[in-house]
């Protein structure tokens, strides 16, 4: 199988579609499996840059729009769903093309990776602290006990911070120690799409502008009626969290837009750091005129 990874706004989705079309024409078909944790949510289209049906160019896409925005994301559940799709495609001779920038979800799908259990008492205590004090003190604690985990988690993502601290307390080891060495479950070529940082920053700003023009505020307003603000995962998504703050009167619209750009740039740096630690990723330049041909060469060799 093939995986296309990298930072947000790097062009992963378009490359994955092109690869699926080329690989499918030469074999028993190729289909895309989503590994973007926020594209799992129904109705979160503009802010996640989810490809519209016509942009998918007839390539089947799996694991899009499967959860309501009130549902709390669970990477272990995603792992089960992704592996079932991947195994099914492989059994009928089709090539799975995994695409996304959610590093843990990519590894959950591709690698021999088991997730530690949970302890309701520890989880409840940490969640109560999060509710009372906010994510900042918990994030500071995580940064001290496991800097690598903190580097991969957004400072405002209270749910993931709580989970990392829970695992540390349960196992007595850093959260990152529960992630094994890079041991693949499937034969896989991982292709990373590389964009120089100044250009990536500009692409992110342009993408946020286009999202606003496309109606992100209206999308969030409609999703709020469906419980977005109560969703412990979806409400923290980039763009959605900032627009919710605007709709709740905590900032003006321009501040929400500017903060979305800043937060997305910070997140992109964490994505790059995560994927660069994986020695299996083969990096290609996003603006290489021969990008698709080079990617196909990597797959076929």
Cα gap 196→288, rounded to integer Å: 12
* Residue 9 among known ligand-binding residues: yes
Find residue 4's DSSP bridge partners: 99, 191
* Residue 29 among known ligand-binding residues: no
Structure tokens at 300: 């076929």
* Residue 8 among known ligand-binding residues: yes
* Residue 214 among known ligand-binding residues: no
| DSSP secondary structure string for all residues of the chain | -EEEEESTTSSHHHHHHHHHHHHHHHTT-EEEEE--TTTTBTT--TTTTPPPGGGGTT--EESSS-B-TTSPP-HHHHHHHHHHHHHHHHHTTPEEEEE-S-HHHHHHHHB--------HHHHHHHHHHHHHH-HHHHHHHHHHH-HHHHHHS-TT-HHHHHHHHHHHHHHSS-GGGGS-S--BSS--EEEEEE--HHHHHHHHHHHHHHHHHHTHHHHHHHHHHTTGGG-TTGGGSTTHHHHHHHHTTSS-HHHHHHHHHHHHHHHHHHHHHHHHT-TTEEEEETT-TTHHHHHHHHHH-
* Residue 6 among known ligand-binding residues: yes
How many C-beta atoms lie closer than 10 Å to residue 289's C-beta?
8
Q: Are 33 and 82 in contact (CB under 8 A)?
A: yes
What residues are designated binding site for ATP?
6-13
What residues are designated binding site for substrate?
8-13
What residues are designated binding site?
6-13
């Amino acid at each position: 199988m093939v995986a296309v990874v990298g930072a947000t706004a790097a062009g992963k989705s378009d490359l994955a579609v092109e690869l699926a079309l080329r690989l499918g024409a030469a074999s028993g078909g190729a289909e895309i499996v989503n590994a973007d944790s926020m594209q799992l949510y129904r109705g979160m289209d503009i802010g996640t840059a989810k490809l519209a049906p016509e942009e998918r160019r007839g390539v089947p896409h799996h694991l899009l729009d499967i959860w309501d925005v009130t549902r709390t994301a669970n990477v272990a559940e995603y792992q089960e769903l992704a592996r079932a799709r991947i195994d099914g495609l492989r059994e009928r001779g089709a090539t799975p093309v995994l695409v996304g920038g959610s590093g843990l979800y990519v590894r959950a799908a591709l690698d021999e990776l088991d997730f530690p259990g949970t302890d309701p008492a520890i989880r409840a205590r940490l969640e109560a602290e999060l509710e009372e004090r906010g994510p900042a003190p918990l994030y500071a604690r995580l940064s001290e006990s496991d800097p690598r985990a903190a580097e991969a988690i957004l400072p405002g993502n209270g749910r993931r911070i709580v989970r990392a601290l829970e695992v540390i307390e349960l196992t007595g080891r850093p959260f990152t120690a529960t992630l094994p060495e890079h041991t693949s479950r499937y034969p896989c070529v991982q292709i990373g799409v590389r964009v120089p940082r100044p250009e990536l920053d500009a692409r992110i700003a342009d993408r946020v502008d286009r999202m606003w023009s496309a109606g992100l505020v209206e999308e969030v307003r409609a999703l709020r009626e469906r419980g977005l603000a109560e969703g412990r995962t979806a409400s923290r998504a980039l763009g959605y969290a900032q627009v919710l703050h605007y709709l709740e009167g905590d900032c003006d619209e321009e501040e929400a837009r500017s903060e979305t750009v800043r937060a997305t740039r910070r997140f992109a740096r964490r994505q790059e750091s995560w994927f660069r630690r994986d020695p299996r990723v083969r990096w290609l330049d996003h603006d290489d005129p021969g990008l698709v041909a080079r990617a196909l060469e990597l797959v076929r060799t």
